[in-house]
Amino acid sequence: MTAALHDAPTVPVLGEDTHAKRPSGVVVALSGGLTAALGAVGVALGLAVIFGAPRHLRIGWLLPLVGVRFDLDPLGGFFMAATGAVSIAVGIYAAGYAQRERWAGFPMIMLPLFVAGMLAVPAAGSVTTFLLAWELMAAASLALVLSEHRRVAVRSAGVFYAVMTQLGFAAILLALVVLSAAAGGDAFATIAAHVGGIAPGTRTAVFVLTLMGFGSKAGLLPLHAWLPRAHPEAPSPVSALMSAAMVNMGIYGIIRIDLQLLGPGPHSWGLTLMIFGAVSAVFGVLQASVATDLKRLLAYSTTENMGLITLALGAAALLSSSGAPKVAAIAMTAALLHLLSHAAFKTLGFLAAGSVLAATGLRDLNKLGGLARRMPGTTVMFAISALGASGLPLGAGFVSEWLLLQSLIHSPHENNTLLALTMPLSVGAVALTTGLGIAAMVKAFGVGFLARPRSPAAEGAREAPASMLTGMALAAAACVVFALAPALLGPTLRRVLAVLPAVGGQAAGPALGTYLRLPGVSGSMSPGLIAAALVTAVLLTLGLARWGRRHRPAAAVVPLWACGADSLSSRMQYTATSFAEPLQRVFDNVLKPDTNLEVIHFAESRYLVEKITYRTLLADPIEERFYTPVVRAVTTWAQWVRRAHPGSVHLYLAYGALGLLVVLLVAR
Amino acid sequence: MSWISRIWRIGRIVEPAPHAPEPSVEPPTGVAGSLQLRHVDAGSCNGCELELTGAFSPVYDAERFGARLVASPRHADGLVATGVVTHNMAQPLLNTFHAVPEPRVVIAVGDCACNGGVFTKGYGVVGPVGDVVPVDVEVPGCPPTPQQIIAALRAVTGR
């Protein structure tokens, strides 16, 4: 009997373009070094602003009429430092990656530019500067996504990303122009001073438009579709930057514009954020748990984590407007902490996936495996990242998810139907998300790195070079710090929280010491002591086992048990598809998988099976249901408009003359 | 806690077991009263399997004499082999035998396993279990009754 497993489309081996020249070491080091240096400047400036006085910078000549204006406050400094930290790790990693993957010059120029754009966004102090930095970030990231443009999948992902990011930008542009027109000023400070006089209808319109724009950047449902396309197809350092730093800018926009400048808003704003966050988290993690492409899995995990952060933001806004600022401060701390830990473990995850991709040319988990022996360093790094993403103790995501759950559980819902309804539902959503997240990460790590290799490419994998390992080690160190000693972040988070009065900023946040203590509610936890207890238990068990071994006979070496067969083969292992099959079956109605099982019998007897063919295709159901009709309508409309463009110069001249005539008539 | 005290008061209600038979082999693990067994169907007609199931069912309850069926030879002290050994099952039987930690015991259940039975001259047959792995205890019968199987198991467990 033979069984052929036709699965998700595989990725062509990278580096097949063997004619590409190896880039010179100086250029590579310059690009990576500049990226890392920009990141270091971002971290230094961000921390200086958080712990010092706000800084202001005006460059009048750079833009006509309004000039460029940077105002850094603790909130902007926080996002700047987070982006900078990601850039340091990615910059060091990219130096080795570019050499190994034979990057052309163009992406190496764009990488520092992209980082500069991302650092400028949280520093912007006026609408014009903000939009300029935002567009620089979007354009640079688009260019980087397209750096392997010879592959069709990359071009398709690029078009998707370009359209969605520009539509998002248009929404933000419209919202901010309306806002600054209503407030009578371009600078954020002016808007904040005059926000009280803006009509509620205008404020709601601005909220809805910015939520759409920033939500699409953060990868929230249903505007997430670019994320699982662009992140896998971009080079891995770029995926790390986009997934760990750029999506944070969407969250920054929501906090800055919707919660700080416009807020405090009505209950419905917080509720909207919570709904979008919860749906994104559950849907993202569900798609991640059935994904077979390693980078696609990580991209969906980004949607999940951004959903959790948005849920926490919404909870903070709702609790604050319901008169529970202390619990709101816990939720807001959870959001900020989760943002940081997500940045750390997702950087690490994408960088480790990039090492695997560079070593094997594979992203398909069904073809990987056996990397623990061949790439021990990368395997340890990915394990740290996966532990962080699964939200278990000793992982980077644990403390923030614990804080989020505490804030949801301890919300005072006496005499408040809204809180009594939303908070338990949110607890359910977060719990489901965390549970499925563990399944997704166990699959990614267990199937991708452990057991035996499933393909010759995985069998021939070699460890990543030192600079790539160094970049990953930096991110891993950040993960460990967030997991074991969140106390180090306590002062930073307190100062950021202080500038956010709309979301519980006036109350004292949770005390992040050796013990995490929550003011006003009963609940405390100590990640450091949990880790110490675990390490002691492991050492004690190992010591006892070693002590007991002295009295036992020498161990016998026997072949592995292969269920009676002669030897084990990699075909006997779990694959990513088979591991996720039960989940896929349970969530059949949501995932809508397109599966096909074909059994071919021998002609002599239908009791004997000759061949089994199993094919499964998991597309994004939201993309299929919402995007396809829109794309089709736009295409039809474009075909119709095309008739006006027959290619005749005379006709075009006539259009010009007609247009001029209309303008003259109108402006008469 | 009334149910605990009720359990305590009532105690065990079972038919008294007949006297333990003479031990047939040394207890394989050196511990009397416990025997973890892995069952291998080497090519049986499933008659012996039915009786084996009966022996471990609540009616006969072989487990009260310390014998247990386990899911992997790695967990086992011995093998229970049924049926005549066919060509396809000869190697798996040998592999399973080697996967059981030493010292181990092999119990052949049924006439086919002991001497080939009615299938001795079959075209797909290697021979009785004893031709492939060393057999310590034989349980004759086609199929043997649960009482016979339990008697043989008690002779190994010593209970």
The per-residue pLDDT for A505 is 62
The pLDDT tens digits for A461-492 are 888 888 888 889 999 998 988 888 888 887 88
Phi, psi (degrees; rounded to nearest 5) at A566: -75, -40
Neighboring chain A residues of B93 at a CB cutoff of 8 Å: 564
* pLDDT at A4 exceeding the cut of 80: no
Residue of B nearest to A558 (CA): B99
- State the pLDDT confidence band at B52, using cuts at 50, 70 and 90: very high
The per-residue pLDDT for B108 is 95
| Residues of A contacting chain B (CB within 8 angstroms) | 556, 558-559, 561-562, 564-566
The per-residue pLDDT for A2 is 40
> Nearest-CA distance from B77 to chain A in Å?
15
- State the pLDDT confidence band at A275, using cuts at 50, 70 and 90: very high
Q: Which position has the higher pLDDT, A464 or A118?
A: A118
- Which residue has 């449902």 as its token pair? A221
The pLDDT tens digits for B130-144 are 999 999 999 999 999
Q: How far is CA A405 from CA A49, A442, A524, in A?
A: 30, 22, 12
Average pLDDT across chain A, whole number: 85
- The answer to whether A561 contacts B92, with C-beta atoms less than 8 Å apart, is no
Neighboring chain B residues of A560 at a CB cutoff of 8 Å: none
Neighboring chain A residues of B99 at a CB cutoff of 8 Å: 558, 561
The pLDDT tens digits for B53-111 are 999 998 888 998 989 999 999 999 999 999 999 999 999 999 999 999 888 999 999 99
Nearest to A463 by CA among A100, A219, A110: A100
Top-tier CATH class for B31-157: alpha beta
The pLDDT tens digits for A46-80 are 888 888 888 888 877 777 777 788 888 888 899 99
Neighboring chain A residues of B102 at a CB cutoff of 8 Å: 556
* pLDDT at A8 exceeding the cut of 50: no
Ramachandran category for residue A391: left, alpha or beta (phi over 0 → left; psi -120 to 50 → alpha): left
The pLDDT tens digits for A121-149 are 998 888 888 999 999 999 999 988 888 88
Neighboring chain B residues of A566 at a CB cutoff of 8 Å: 91, 95
* pLDDT at A19 exceeding the cut of 60: no
- The answer to whether A566 contacts B91, with C-beta atoms less than 8 Å apart, is yes
- The residue of A1, A557, A560, A563 whose CB has the most chain B CBs within 10 angstroms, and thus the best one to mutate to test that interface, is A563
DSSP string, A434-473: HHHHHHHHHHHHHHHHSS--SSHHHHT--PPPHHHHHHHH
Q: Residue ranges of the domains in chain A?
A: 20-253, 264-495, 622-666
* pLDDT at A507 exceeding the cut of 50: yes
> What is the Cα–Cα distance from A90 to A35, expressed in whole angstroms?
8
Q: How many CB atoms lie within 10 A of CB A598?
A: 11
- The answer to whether B92 contacts A564, with C-beta atoms less than 8 Å apart, is yes
Continuous H helices in A291-324 = 294-321
Of A556, A559, A561, nearest to B72 by CB-CB distance is A561
- The answer to whether A566 contacts B95, with C-beta atoms less than 8 Å apart, is yes
Average pLDDT over residues A27-44: 87
| A113 and A76 Cβ atoms separated by less than 8 Å | no
The per-residue pLDDT for A250 is 92
The per-residue pLDDT for B136 is 92
> What is the Cα–Cα distance from A33 to A36, expressed in whole angstroms?
5
Q: What ipTM, to 2 d.p.?
A: 0.79
Neighboring chain B residues of A564 at a CB cutoff of 8 Å: 91-93, 95-96
The per-residue pLDDT for A15 is 43
Residues forming beta bridges with residue B106, ordered by sequence position: B79
The per-residue pLDDT for A618 is 80
pTM: 0.84
Q: How many cross-chain Cβ pairs, A to B, lie less than 8 Å apart?
A: 18
The gap from C-alpha A386 to its chain's centroid, in whole angstroms, comes to 14
Phi, psi (degrees; rounded to nearest 5) at A611: -155, 140
* pLDDT at A18 exceeding the cut of 60: no
> Nearest-CA distance from B71 to chain A in Å?
10
Neighboring chain A residues of B92 at a CB cutoff of 8 Å: 564-565
| A142 and A165 Cβ atoms separated by less than 8 Å | yes
| Residues of B contacting chain A (CB within 8 angstroms) | 72-74, 91-93, 95-96, 98-99, 102
> Nearest-CA distance from A565 to chain B in Å?
6
Average pLDDT over residues A615-620: 80
* pLDDT at A9 exceeding the cut of 50: no
Q: Residue ranges of the domains in chain B?
A: 31-157
Q: Which token pair is A582? A: 């039960």
> Nearest-CA distance from A235 to chain B in Å?
46
- The answer to whether B95 contacts A564, with C-beta atoms less than 8 Å apart, is yes
Neighboring chain B residues of A565 at a CB cutoff of 8 Å: 92, 95
| A439 and A289 Cβ atoms separated by less than 8 Å | yes
The pLDDT tens digits for A552-593 are 778 778 888 888 888 888 888 888 888 888 888 888 888 888
Secondary structure, 3-state, B49-99: HHHHHHHCCCCCCHHHHCEEECCCHHHCCEEEEECCEEHHHHHHHHHHHHH
* pLDDT at A6 exceeding the cut of 70: no
> Nearest-CA distance from B2 to chain A in Å?
37
Neighboring chain A residues of B91 at a CB cutoff of 8 Å: 564, 566
- State the pLDDT confidence band at A33, using cuts at 50, 70 and 90: confident
- The answer to whether A558 contacts B98, with C-beta atoms less than 8 Å apart, is yes
Average pLDDT over residues A91-109: 82
Phi, psi (degrees; rounded to nearest 5) at A302: -65, -45
Residue of B nearest to A562 (CA): B95
- The answer to whether B92 contacts A558, with C-beta atoms less than 8 Å apart, is no
- Neighbour-count burial of A437, counting CB atoms closer than 10 A to its CB (0-12 exposed, 13-18 middle, 19+ buried): buried
> Nearest-CA distance from B42 to chain A in Å?
11
The pLDDT tens digits for B119-132 are 988 899 999 999 99
